[in-house]
C-alpha cells in the first residue's frame, strides 16, 4: 500500500508543479532518489508520466488524460441522466438504471425507482455480467470486434436456467441488439426479473452507456414489452441528445 500511496503522491506532485526531476520528487516524498526513480519508471511504463529527455524532467503523461476522460464521461452521463432516469421511472412505475462498461462488467451509476417498484434491491454501484443483463448486452453489442472476441473467449457463468452460456448464441443475440436498437434479458440474471435496455451515445456516436428498465416478470408480459421497449429507446435517445449526439 505504501508504494501505491507514493505513486499517487508522485502524480500529485507533477500536477502541482507541472514538471519535476527525480531529485525534486525524492525530496518531496522524503525517499531516496533510487526509490523515486523506480516509481517514476513504473508510472512512465504505464503512460501516466512522460519525460523531457533533454532536461530529464518528468510531467503527467497522456495516460492521465485517458483516465480523466473516462471519469468525466461517467460524471457527465450521471448529471445529464438524472432527470431522464427519474422521468422514465415515473412514467413506467418501474426501476430504471444507467450503466457504463467497466472492463468485463456493466456498472450501474444511476438509479431511480418508480411508484410501482416492489423491490428494495439497490443496483447502484453493482457490477453485473455483460452476457446476463440487458444493459450488459446493449454495451457489449456496440464494442469493437476485439473487445467482443475477448469477452466471448471467457467462460460465461450460468446464473439461471435461462442464462446464455454459448458464445455462438450470445454473438447472434449481440448482432440482433445492434439491428433492433435495444436488448432484453428475460430472467437471465435472476429468476423473476426481466429487463430492457437501450444504448446511450456520446456526441461522436460512440456508445458510452445504457439505460435499462427492470420489471418483475409477472408485470412484463408480451403485451407490455413493446411499450416498455418504446419508452426505453426514447429515453436513451433523449439522453444521447443531452450528451451531444445528433440522432
Chain-centroid distance of CA 122 in Å reads 17
Residue 191 is predicted with a pLDDT of 92
Q: Check: CB of residue 87 under 8 Å from CB of residue 235.
A: yes
On the question of pLDDT at 121 being above 80, the answer is no
On the question of pLDDT at 151 being above 80, the answer is yes
User: Could you tell me which residue, 102 or 67, shows the higher pLDDT?
Assistant: 102
Residue 214, burial from CB neighbour count under 10 angstroms (0-12, 13-18, 19+): buried
Contacts of 215 (CB under 8 A, 6+ apart): 92, 94, 95, 193, 194, 195, 196, 228
Half-sphere exposure of 232 (CA within 13 A, CB side): 31
Q: Which domains does the chain have, with CATH numbers?
A: 1-73 (1.10.10.10), 77-243 (3.30.450.40)
User: Could you tell me which residue, 220 or 17, shows the higher pLDDT?
Assistant: 17
Single pTM value for the model? 0.70
Angstrom distance (rounded) from CA 112 to CA 74: 17
Q: Check: CB of residue 199 under 8 Å from CB of residue 210.
A: yes
Residue 18 is predicted with a pLDDT of 83
Residue 151: DSSP 8-state = H
Binning pLDDT at 50, 70 and 90, where does residue 183 land?
Answer: very high
DSSP 156-195: ----STT----HHHHHHHHHHHHHHT-EEEESSSSTTEEE
Angstrom distance (rounded) from CA 133 to CA 30: 49
Give the CA angle between residues 60, 73, 146 to the nearest 5°: 85
Angstrom distance (rounded) from CA 140 to CA 151: 9
Q: Which of 241, 215, 178, 181 is nearest to 97 (CA)?
A: 215
Amino acid at each position: 500500500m505504501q508504494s501505491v500511496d507514493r505513486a499517487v503522491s508522485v502524480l500529485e506532485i507533477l500536477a502541482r508543479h507541472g514538471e519535476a526531476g527525480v531529485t525534486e520528487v525524492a525530496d518531496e516524498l522524503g525517499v531516496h532518489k533510487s526509490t523515486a526513480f523506480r516509481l517514476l519508471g513504473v508510472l512512465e511504463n504505464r503512460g501516466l508520466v512522460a519525460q523531457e529527455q533533454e532536461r530529464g524532467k518528468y510531467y503527467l503523461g497522456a495516460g492521465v488524460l485517458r483516465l480523466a476522460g473516462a471519469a468525466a464521461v461517467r460524471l457527465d452521463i450521471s448529471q445529464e441522466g438524472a432527470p431522464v432516469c427519474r422521468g422514465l421511472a415515473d412514467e413506467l412505475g418501474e426501476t430504471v438504471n444507467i450503466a457504463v462498461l467497466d472492463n468485463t462488467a456493466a456498472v450501474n451509476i444511476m438509479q431511480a425507482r418508480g411508484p410501482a417498484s416492489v423491490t428494495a434491491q439497490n443496483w447502484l454501484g453493482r457490477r453485473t455480467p455483460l452476457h446476463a443483463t440487458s444493459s450488459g448486452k446493449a454495451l457489449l453489442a456496440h464494442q469493437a470486434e476485439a473487445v467482443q472476441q475477448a469477452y466471448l473467449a471467457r467462460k460465461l457463468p450460468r446464473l439461471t436456467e435461462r442464462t446464455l452460456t454459448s458464445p455462438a448464441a450470445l454473438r447472434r443475440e449481440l448482432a440482433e441488439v445492434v439491428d433492433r436498437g435495444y436488448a432484453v434479458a428475460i430472467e437471465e440474471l435472476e429468476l423473476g426479473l426481466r429487463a430492457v435496455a437501450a444504448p446511450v451515445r456520446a456526441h461522436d456516436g460512440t456508445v458510452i452507456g445504457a439505460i435499462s428498465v427492470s420489471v418483475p416478470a409477472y408485470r412484463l408480459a408480451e403485451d407490455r414489452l413493446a411499450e416498455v421497449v418504446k419508452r426505453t429507446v426514447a429515453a436513451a435517445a433523449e439522453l444521447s441528445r443531452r450528451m451531444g449526439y445528433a440522432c
